[in-house]
Amino acid sequence: MQETGCVICNKTITNPVCPDCINQEVKDWLRDKGYELDLIGKEISYPLTRCVICNKKMDICPHCYAKDIGLIVKEEFPKLMEEFGEVFRF
Ligand SMILES: [Zn+2]
Ligand SMILES: [Zn+2]
């Protein structure tokens, strides 16, 4: 068995939720707040681990990916940043 790790932090992905599913969660969350954010184009496609939600392959841990999106959210909606950190704590 080969250990699968995140390409960014190199840690084993223990709670694999793929970028697409995180995108969806972030989008839903933003929509609840009345905002729209297009996260398409943030897709990553190295075949290593499979997402627990949609079974898609992924190679970046939810933690690193959420951090990535956090930077986008921070740019687009600075005042939502604090709440983002609380909601999306992977
Ligand atoms: Zn990582
Ligand atoms: Zn998924």
pLDDT tens by residue, 9-28: 988 888 888 888 998 899 99
CA of 67 from ligand 2 middle (Å) equals 17
Q: For residue 66, what are the CA distances in angstroms to 1, 39, 89? A: 27, 12, 8
Q: Identify whether 73 is part of a domain.
A: yes
Boundaries of domain holding 25: 19-87
Residue 69 falls inside a structural domain: yes
How much distance in Å is there from the Cα of 15 to the middle of ligand 1?
11
Q: Is residue 43 domain-resident?
A: yes
Identify the burial level of 74 via C-beta atoms within 10 angstroms of its C-beta, where 0-12 means exposed, 13-18 middle and 19 or more buried: middle
Q: Is 5 helix (H, G, I), strand (E, B) or coil?
A: strand
Minimum-distance ligand to the CA of 19? 2
**What's this model's pTM, rounded to 2 decimal places?**
0.73
Phi and psi based region of residue 74 (left: phi greater than 0; alpha: psi -120 to 50; beta: remaining): alpha
Structural domain includes residue 26: yes
pLDDT tens digits along 51-86: 889 988 888 889 998 988 899 899 999 999 999 999
Q: Is residue 7 part of a domain?
A: no
Whole-number Å distance, alpha carbon 61 to ligand 1 midpoint, is 4
Would residue 60 count as lying in a domain? Answer: yes
Domain count, the chain: 1
10 assigned to some structural domain? no
61 C-alpha vs ligand 2 centroid, how far in Å?
12
pLDDT of residue 48: 61
58 in a structural domain: yes
